[in-house]
Amino acid sequence: MAGSTSLLERFAAAVGDAHVLTDPELTLGYGTPWAAREGVAPLAVVRPADAGEAAAVLALCAERGQAVVPQGGNTGLVRGAAPGAGDVVLSTGRMGAIEAVDPVGLGVVVGAGVSLEELQARLEPEGLELALDIGARGQATLGGMAATNAGGARAFRHGTMRAHVSGIEAVLADGGRIERLGGVVKDATGYDWPSLLVGSEGTLAVITRLLLRLRRVERSRAAALVAVGSMAEALALAVALRDRPAGLEAAEFVLPGALRLVSEELGLRPPPGAGPDRVLALFETRAAAGAHDLLVDALAVAPAAAEAVVVEGADTADLWRYREGLGEALTQVDPLLKLDLSLPLANLAAGLAAIERAAREGQGGDAVEPFLFGHLLDGNVHVNLGGVAPGRVAAVTAAILDAVLHHGGSIGAEHGVGRAKAEWLERDRGGAEIAAMKRLKAALDPAGILNPGVLLPAP
Ligand SMILES: Cc1cc2nc3c(=O)[nH]c(=O)nc-3n(C[C@H](O)[C@H](O)[C@H](O)COP(=O)(O)OP(=O)(O)OC[C@H]3O[C@@H](n4cnc5c(N)ncnc54)[C@H](O)[C@@H]3O)c2cc1C
């Protein structure tokens, strides 16, 4: 304890007294994952203002072998930012600067603690945007989004976070600093830090600033809701829209259980044509002008879309409630088993059926309540299950993840691996890859202080 007291004093000397929190009333929130009913108060929460202060904190932790959990908005869904009682949380909350926007190079440097919504508000008047959006935009930070390689609805067109990070500043476990924020498009000078650190979930370095790629906003927007007879039909419709000049930006699906839940919990009227055997598809198009007509024309070639509801401008938000409202609606389901997976498009329909079967088998033949939805054109499925018996969670999870691997999918699509799926990673990536990852981790973080137990199971 004497050791930890002086560590805390040294943290305070590095970042200022006010930015080292130890009172459990203040720290418990940092130790409570999103929507969790319980959490753990960490040893301390340290809030460095910049890379220099973060370097000092990490150097102290390395000296003591002190485990550090980097944390942004704490909206992650795989317990990657969840500390143990003896851990130090390094919060990026004070790294909140948005530096000058570069309208020529189409880039902006942001602090890791800036939320996506703050950046969106800053860019909007300039007619620019980051072409990636996620439901947790109000609280999720750009540093956390880079660390988890966040995806969202627009990823099938513009890529996941990896495609949007062109430069990075980060602090390594020993306090060493990487700074590559120059913004040249062509830079073939060796190992590429953004490629390595994006998706590393706080296990290799703490990201402190990012250079993000921007694009001009297309202001005309339209959205359509269509109920179709099967997943295969929904996917065929999405592909038809994608392959026409319709400016398709999002293609989402909601299966009947999830639609019933969101309609009931948010008091929404079920859309026309929806029913227990129908799949709800939501499409959004964007263009410099005339997105509504583009969408109507594109839908006209698809007979399945005869009953589509098409709206434009601000009204698109009403249609998105059926999809984005699910986050809120699911907080009412307890217990809830959540898994974020992806399937190759060729196996999407078969893989979804296999997931539902696997859930029932894992439960020993008894029914579960499936609430399934996701992103049509990148095969990302959000599996949420109610009614899983507490003693069957591991069996249900195993059966579903096996089914996904059997169909050529990934066990971690856009939420990452975190602590929740670390023990599963080897089945997805294989022994040789895991061995290489461990060597990489050991080279950059020899004392293993950065997010132990995340991605790779704790030794
Ligand atoms: C309602 C809701 C909707 C969501 N929708 C989506 C969605 O559409 N798409 C999607 O991809 N995700 C979604 N998510 C998941 C979550 O928002 C993302 O994973 C997001 O990227 C996490 O950002 P954060 O700042 O909250 O990170 P945290 O939860 O704080 O941390 C997540 C991980 O990143 C690490 N980390 C955080 N900051 C840093 C840093 N600066 N340096 C190094 N490591 C760091 C942490 O250690 C942890 O492993 C959603 C979550 C919720 C609650």
Predicted pLDDT at 1: 45
Predicted pLDDT at 4: 57
Q: Which long-range contacts (CB under 8 A, 24 or more apart) does 8-14 make?
A: 8/44, 10/60, 11/44, 11/46, 11/57, 11/60, 11/88, 14/48, 14/53, 14/56, 14/57, 14/60
Check whether 305 has a pLDDT greater than 90.
Answer: no
143 lines ligand 1 (CB under 6 A): yes
Q: Which of 342, 277, 340 is nearest to 135 (CA)?
A: 340
Q: In this structure, is the dihedral angle defined by the CA atoms of residues 415, 456, 447 and 436, taken in order, positive or negative?
A: negative
385 lines ligand 1 (CB under 6 A): no
DSSP 60-85: HHHHHT--EEEESSS--SSSTT---T
What is the average per-residue pLDDT within 178-201? Answer: 95
Low-confidence winner among 226-230, 246-250, 305-309, 339-343 (lowest mean pLDDT): 305-309
Predicted pLDDT at 101: 96
Check whether 2 has a pLDDT greater than 60.
Answer: no
Segment 282-296, tens digit of pLDDT: 999 999 999 999 999
Check whether 217 has a pLDDT greater than 80.
Answer: yes
What is the average per-residue pLDDT within 354-383? Answer: 94
Please state the atom number of ligand 1 nearest to the C-alpha of residue 134: 8
Predicted pLDDT at 137: 96
415 lines ligand 1 (CB under 6 A): yes
152 lines ligand 1 (CB under 6 A): yes
Decide the pairing of beta strands 220-228 and 309-312.
antiparallel
Please state the atom number of ligand 1 nearest to the C-alpha of residue 145: 21
Check whether 178 has a pLDDT greater than 50.
Answer: yes
Instruction: Take atom 19 of ligand 1 and give the residue whose Cα is closest.
Output: 76
Beta carbons of 15 and 8 less than 8 angstroms apart: no
Cα 138 to ligand 1 centroid, rounded to whole Å = 11
378 lines ligand 1 (CB under 6 A): no
Cα 142 to ligand 1 centroid, rounded to whole Å = 8
Segment 91-124, tens digit of pLDDT: 999 999 999 999 999 999 999 999 999 999 999 9
| pLDDT band, very low/low/confident/very high, at 365 (cuts 50, 70, 90) | confident
What is the average per-residue pLDDT within 316-326? Answer: 96
Tokens for 33, please give them. 């994952």
Instruction: Name the residue of 74, 77, 165 to mutate for ligand 1: max ligand atoms within 8 A of Cβ.
Output: 77
What is the average per-residue pLDDT within 30-59? Answer: 96
Cα 414 to ligand 1 centroid, rounded to whole Å = 9
Predicted pLDDT at 306: 73
Tokens for 228, please give them. 């179709």
Q: Treating both helix axes as pointing N-terminal to C-terminal, what angle do 348-362 and 393-406 enclose, rounded to 10 degrees?
A: 160
Predicted pLDDT at 83: 98
Cα 35 to ligand 1 centroid, rounded to whole Å = 13
- B/e letters for 156-183, b = 16+ CB within 10 Å, e = fewer, are bbbbbbbebbbbbbbbbbbbeebebeeb
Q: Which of 243, 249, 240, 237 is nearest to 316 (CA)?
A: 249
Instruction: Take atom 28 of ligand 1 and give the residue whose Cα is closest.
Output: 74
414 lines ligand 1 (CB under 6 A): yes
Tokens for 37, please give them. 């009913």
Q: Considering the chain, what is the average pLDDT of its residues?
A: 95
Q: Bridge partners of 342? A: 380, 410
What is the average per-residue pLDDT within 45-65? Answer: 97
Instruction: Name the residue of 132, 284, 340, 415 to mutate for ligand 1: max ligand atoms within 8 A of Cβ.
Output: 415
Cα 149 to ligand 1 centroid, rounded to whole Å = 9
Cα 76 to ligand 1 centroid, rounded to whole Å = 4
DSSP 458: P
| pLDDT band, very low/low/confident/very high, at 3 (cuts 50, 70, 90) | low
